[in-house]
Amino acid sequence: MTKKILAVGEIRDGEFRNVSYEAVAAAKEIASGGEVVGVLLGENVSGLAQELIQYGADRAVVVESEKLSSYTPDGYTQALQAVVEQENPDGMIFGHTSIGRDAAPKLAARLDSGLVSDATAIEVAGEEVIFTRPIYSGKAFEKKVVSGGKIFATIRPNNIAPLEKDESRSGDVSEVTVDIKDIRTIIKDVVRNTATGVDLSEANIIVAGGRGLKSGDNFKLLDELADVLGAAVGASRGACDAEYCDYALQIGQTGKVVTPDLYIAVGISGAIQHVAGMSNSKVIVAINKDPEAEIFNIADYGIVGDLFDIVPKLTEEFKNVVVKS
């Protein structure tokens, strides 16, 4: 049976986060030939809505308000609930981002529905939509089926491929007017605590460092390699605890969970806490002078040696490849 599914887009610095397109692709899969409606909240964002359609949505709904210029739980929940009440969809897909993790369960609870969070794969078998999600810090996976009510789910970035952009696609963009009120949170300023221009949670390539780097200054080696590869820089909790870098870069059970195409672990031992946040990376390369380091147990490629010799050589080799290409 075909379904009507809403896909929530997220905007950062005037552009869609990539997970927005992945949400549209997930909604398309669940809709099974039905209708996919992109949802966009914010201030002066209507002009961006067609892009959701170019990535696969059939049409888009926008809620414009200065009270939605920054995320607040009250404002977003009121706006999203109004969209759901107007559209009466069979389900709604969010990115598993800080906004999605906060807004999705609130909205699902208000509508007396369940929520499947952090889904990494979706398949449709007959009338059933089957979500796959990691459990036990990524050591196992479980499959969940929504047996009744509306489908609410968040999807982990970088796991469901977006559809090809088709700039010839166009569709209707309509606006829902919502009287947003009783907001209990006031956003006075937004300070981004990050050292890289590449979003760590959505990066296709990540270069991460651990205590083996021995100092914060040595993270410059990773910055140089990341610049050549167009990668984001991350870190283990050990490196953050040692004040080599900011906790905004921490990857692991108590940091960010990432699933890039390529993960280069430099001077990282492979503690369980860290592995929980990156073990689902598609290709893992480990560089460590200790051949018994746990990180080699999950690495696809391992380099045993001194990172201070290896990383600069890798950077130079990648530079040569980039120049030749």
State the DSSP code for 115: -
Residues with Cβ within 8 Å of 181's Cβ and at least 6 positions away in sequence, in order, are 78
CA–CA dist 94, 210 (Å, integer): 32
How many Cα atoms are found within 13 Å in the side-chain-facing hemisphere of 31?
22
Question: Binding site: residue ranges?
Answer: 211, 236-237, 250-254, 267-274, 288
213 φ, ψ (degrees, to nearest 5): -75, -20
CA–CA dist 231, 208 (Å, integer): 10
CA–CA dist 55, 17 (Å, integer): 13
State the DSSP code for 215: S
47 φ, ψ (degrees, to nearest 5): -65, -15
CA–CA dist 95, 12 (Å, integer): 13
- The token duo for 15 is 């552009």
Question: Binding site for FAD: residue ranges?
Answer: 211, 236-237, 250-254, 267-274, 288
